[in-house]
Amino acid sequence: MKPTRLSFHDEIQKNKISSYLLITIILAVLLLLTYTIAYAIGGDYFFIILIIGIPLSIGYIVFGFYNSDKIAIKSANAKPANGPEYRQYHNIVEGLCIASGLPKPKLYVMHEQQINAFASGRDPKNAVICVTDGSLQKLTKQELEGVLAHELSHIANYDIRFMTLTAVLVGMIAIISEIFLRSLFWSSIGGSHDRENNNVVLMIIGIALAILAPIIVALVQLAISRKREYAADSSAVKFMRTPTGLIGALTKIKDNQPIKVSGAVAPLFLAKPSKAKEWFSTHPPLAERIAKLQRM
């Protein structure tokens, strides 16, 4: 029996719904963690943490949001794609931008021989695309078009903003958990033993949440990243009207060697830059992505 062909419009919609559900889980964990800590610590200690933590959190969000493209480029040690050797790179992006109605992002290159690419930024007007030297040297023009269409899809779908906000939320939960665990030492000094006895259960719950929350949201972040990759693959097909180029690029990426990049940047790449186990991978298996594309 011939397999049913997939609709890229349906795939994009399903992946967007799943992604919003997953980020809702992250927000729920953040609220639960904050609520539990409020009851577990209580007294002046919690208000002191809030007074210090709120401005730091706001500053962290604002800085990360408005400088996400610069942070990603710096983390990847990428350089501007200037010079005649990058003419085809610019021409392909310009053609795709005209076809999709997107403004042309700033273009960068990583001096790595592996095939990979990523996009970053807070919106289409403040976006960047970065490809490796290996992508420019080892891919055919059609394959490179597929890769760049995938990255432009992340920009068009506002995945770059979505993933930035997800990273900020994950970072906030990690910071709050760390502050809480460190504050236990200070709250135990001079604290009321009666209060400690009354809140012992909440304290245990708070400690458990502080330890488990960063792990839970990290796994949720991985799931979000996987969903966005499927959606970007589908959008790339919409741009190109054919999955052939992207299929060819993903097939060649199977032989990639690991690239040393920051864990915060890893979810942005076209394919996972490291050899992480599938359970902890920021990307769905290449074989599954190729199989979906072949049915479009």
Q: 179: which residues sit within 8 A by CB, 6+ positions away?
A: 49, 53
Q: Which amino acid is at 205?
A: I
CB atoms within 10 A of CB 23: 19
Spot the catalytic one: 112, 145, 151, 229: 151
The pair of structure tokens assigned to 241 is: 């009207």
112 is catalytic: no
- Classify residue 213 as exposed, middle or buried by CB count within 10 Å of its CB (0-12, 13-18, 19+): buried
Task: Tell me if 129 sits within 8 A of 110, measured CB to CB.
Answer: no
Phi-psi region of 114 (alpha: psi -120 to 50; beta: other; left: phi over 0): beta
The pair of structure tokens assigned to 92 is: 């392909």
- Active-site residue list: 151
